[in-house]
Amino acid sequence: MLASALLAFVATSHAFSIPPSTYRARQITKTSQLLPAYDYVIVGGGTSGLTVADRLTENPHTTVLVLEAGSFPNPDDVLPVSDGGTRRQDNYLYQSVPQTHLNNQSFYVILGNMVGGSSGINGMMTARGSAEDYDRWGELFGRGSKHDWSWKGLLPYFKKSISFFPPPADLANRFHIKYDTSYWGKSSAVDASWPSYQYPGLDPLLSAFKELPDIEFTADSGAGSAGVYWFPTFMDPVKHERSYATNGHYSNVIRPNYHLMADTPVRRVLLKDGGATGVELKTDNSTFTIKATKEILVAAGAVHTPQILQRSGIGPQKVLKAAGIKTLVDLPGVGQNFQDHPEIGAEITRIHPNAHDLEIDASFRKFAEDSWSANRTGPYSIAFGNIAGWLPLTSITPSRYRSLSTALSAQNHAAYLLPGTHPTVAAGYSAQMRGLAKAMLSRDVVFARILLNATTGAVGPVLNQPFSRGSINIDPADPFGGAPVIDFNGLSNPVERAVMVEILKFFRRYHYETSLKKLAPNETAPGPAVVTDAQLDAWLPSGVTPSDWHAAGTAAMMPLELGGVVDQTLRVYGVKGLRVIDGSVIPSLPGGNPCHAVYAIAEKAADLIRSNA
Ligand SMILES: Cc1cc2nc3c(=O)[nH]c(=O)nc-3n(C[C@H](O)[C@H](O)[C@H](O)COP(=O)(O)OP(=O)(O)OC[C@H]3O[C@@H](n4cnc5c(N)ncnc54)[C@H](O)[C@@H]3O)c2cc1C
Ligand SMILES: *[C@@H]1O[C@H](CO)[C@@H](O)[C@H](O)[C@H]1NC(C)=O
Ligand SMILES: *[C@@H]1O[C@H](CO)[C@@H](O)[C@H](O)[C@H]1NC(C)=O
Ligand SMILES: *[C@@H]1O[C@H](CO)[C@@H](O)[C@H](O)[C@H]1NC(C)=O
Ligand SMILES: *[C@@H]1O[C@H](CO)[C@@H](O)[C@H](O)[C@H]1NC(C)=O
Ligand SMILES: *[C@@H]1O[C@H](CO)[C@@H](O)[C@H](O)[C@H]1NC(C)=O
């Protein structure tokens, strides 16, 4: 990931004193403390699980139990500069199967395994993506649907899910940070705020965007449009600590009806007469059952939710049969439609002053350390940066976006899926690609993220609309003990490759056809020997990483005939009393980072559940 020598350096170079976190809310540590039954049992105490638990228990008569596989995080891991992803030893760490289109390389999959889930280790970048991304979610179900998952239907939940704090006035003036509070709320205990420092080295990077044609500077990151914009960090505005599901939706929520049990992996959901009745845990050597009188809500994240459903007998019959699991509900979409945002590993330049100067310039480093220890200000209050180009294809390649869109429309989409893909899943993919072909013509849909951090000039681009779809299934040899079998099927669609080539060319124009050229950019990847489109294309299999840690889509909210797993109330098709409420329901990733979308989905899920929709 972007994580880095710098962050490791910062994390180890000085000790912070943090008051020990108290986790004041109710913890269950022994099965004997459990109620005989709960209204709702939530599987997974991560980003979405804790959000929904918090909302449902606002009603004092509703009992909720959250079961979380991981343990409570060490409070030291919640500092913005501390990159929990590299510091915590007990995150999930898997390897994908060798990737056919990426020189047979395997890639790491990292996820938060703790109370708070991936919100506890992520890069803390907020970003919603484009309004049209959510409109496409709605369109998969046709118009006039009762539950509105379009931008209009989700905007109230984006606002509800995060509290916005404006940037410090001096920084806003100095760096022209625009924002519009009408896209934000102030009612959540999960905060979005700003570091107290930005590197002057950002100036030339921003100006360079202004020198290129067709690039808009958007008024707010939450406006749902594309362009160059600033975005806040998931952290509190005063202590500059990570703001995430644990401190936002659990630690300070003291309610007798909200129970949480950590270190408790769920094996499967139990079904009786077509309805979910409870969950099965493994404690030491025996199994233990917990009952839910209303519903089971699965929130184990896009990698583990399909695993839990498949172990429970809900999934593609072929996969279940191979693992020796009896099919209770043949649902071909479970574990399919897996997607992530690929990173294109281009690397260009260094400019000053930058984050690297912390290591080499003693006076800058002293300033950084003094400001942080005095009042938590200065460069250490920056997480992964707050400014990026979020560019539509129309800006990336004004001359080719139309022909690329036509090429995608003309494709036999199913040919680019994994062998043996179920026809309904293939139909869903085709429907998504038809929507994407239209999005390729829009000035308001983000296709590439070019994150500006003053160190390298700009971080290697991320493709924000993935065209590839893979799968995550149980290990047929060991469905209960084995790791999930993760196949990105990365770089499988030729139009995706062609779009990446255009993004690489844009990245070069940005550095070499603007005033940045004066700063002597030095391209180390793909490198000066890689020139023509064909050469750039040939470089991709060695230069692309199929993940920006944004796994999604494996229990997609789509019609059943399009390979969907849940309907628009997030209920699993064919099972009563079972919903999925996490990032697995995302049908197609938005052109932003997904965490804010996951919080919004969870807030909407809570309303659907409360109204018994
Ligand atoms: C390293 C990294 C960096 C990222 N950076 C960003 C970023 O900067 N901005 C952004 O927007 N997004 C980012 N993301 C993505 C974002 O954090 C996730 O999309 C989001 O947190 C997913 O939320 P979730 O509720 O679906 O799953 P999670 O938050 O992952 O929650 C799932 C929970 O279920 C638990 N669980 C799993 N299996 C079981 C089981 N069998 N029984 C009980 N519990 C179980 C897990 O331990 C976990 O706590 C990043 C993710 C990672 C991993
Ligand atoms: C990848 O592995 C397959 C199967 O082992 C092999 O046929 C193919 O040549 C390999 N490809 C590369 C680029 O190494
Ligand atoms: C669980 O089983 C293992 C192997 O059978 C045994 O060594 C262990 O003592 C058992 N643990 C408990 C808590 O019963
Ligand atoms: C924070 O501390 C630094 C270093 O002592 C000081 O220069 C700065 O003015 C302080 N800022 C605030 C907001 O208190
Ligand atoms: C900036 O990017 C570089 C290279 O990717 C990385 O090493 C560094 O950690 C980043 N800096 C910050 C503050 O995120
Ligand atoms: C560019 O970077 C490479 C790798 O760091 C280095 O070897 C080379 O000398 C640099 N070239 C210039 C012109 O700075």
47 marked as part of a ligand binding site: yes
Look up the CATH architecture of domain 81-112+167-243+340-551.
2-Layer Sandwich (3.30)
Residue 57's contacts (CB-CB under 8 Å, 6 or more residues apart) are 63, 64, 253, 255, 257, 258
φ/ψ of residue 430, rounded to 5: -60, -45
**Which ligand 6 atom is at minimum distance from the Cα of 522?**
1
Domain boundaries, the chain: 81-112+167-243+340-551
Separation between Cα atoms, residue 487 and residue 469, nearest integer Å: 9
* Beta-bridge partner residues of 228: 217, 389
223: pLDDT strictly greater than 50: yes
pTM (2 d.p.): 0.94
Q: Would the CB of 6 count as within 6 Å of ligand 5?
A: yes
Tens digits of residue pLDDT in 34-44: 999 999 999 99
Residue 197 to residues 89, 180, 235: CA-CA distances in angstroms? 30, 21, 14
Nearest to 486 by CA among 581, 556, 551: 551
Nearest ligand, CA 523: 6
| pLDDT classification of 14: cutoffs 50, 70, 90 | very low
253 marked as part of a ligand binding site: no
Within 10 angstroms of residue 143's Cβ, the number of other Cβ atoms is 7
Instruction: Give the mean model confidence (pLDDT) for residues 387-415.
Output: 98
How far is the centre of ligand 5, averaged over its atoms, from the C-alpha of 454 (Å)? 8
Q: Would the CB of 50 count as within 6 Å of ligand 1?
A: no
pLDDT-wise least confident of 2-16, 93-107, 429-443, 548-562: 2-16
Residue 156's contacts (CB-CB under 8 Å, 6 or more residues apart) are none
Task: Give me the pLDDT at residue 3, please.
Answer: 32
How far is the centre of ligand 1, averaged over its atoms, from the C-alpha of 82 (Å)? 18
Instruction: Give the mean model confidence (pLDDT) for residues 27-37.
Output: 92
How far is the centre of ligand 4, averaged over its atoms, from the C-alpha of 370 (Å)? 8
Task: Give me the pLDDT at residue 354, please.
Answer: 66
Within 10 angstroms of residue 418's Cβ, the number of other Cβ atoms is 15
* Beta-bridge partner residues of 131: none
Residue 25 in 3-state DSSP? Answer: coil
| Helix 151-161 with 131-139: angle, nearest 10 deg | 130
Q: What is the DSSP letter of 379?
A: G
Strand-strand pairing, 266-272 and 523-525: unpaired
| Ligand 2 lining (C-beta closer than 6 Å) | 103-104
356 marked as part of a ligand binding site: no
Tokens for 409, please give them: 């429309």
Could you give the residue ranges of the DSSP H alpha helices within 312-459?
A: 317-322, 357-360, 362-375, 393-396, 401-410, 423-439
Mutation test of ligand 4: which of 170, 193, 238, 377 has the most ligand atoms closer than 8 Å to its C-beta?
Answer: 377
> Which H or E run includes 261?
strand 258-261
Tens digits of residue pLDDT in 283-307: 667 889 999 999 999 999 999 999 9
266 marked as part of a ligand binding site: yes
How far is the centre of ligand 1, averaged over its atoms, from the C-alpha of 285 (Å)? 28
Task: Give me the pLDDT at residue 102, please.
Answer: 98
369: pLDDT strictly greater than 50: yes
Tokens for 163, please give them: 């509290």
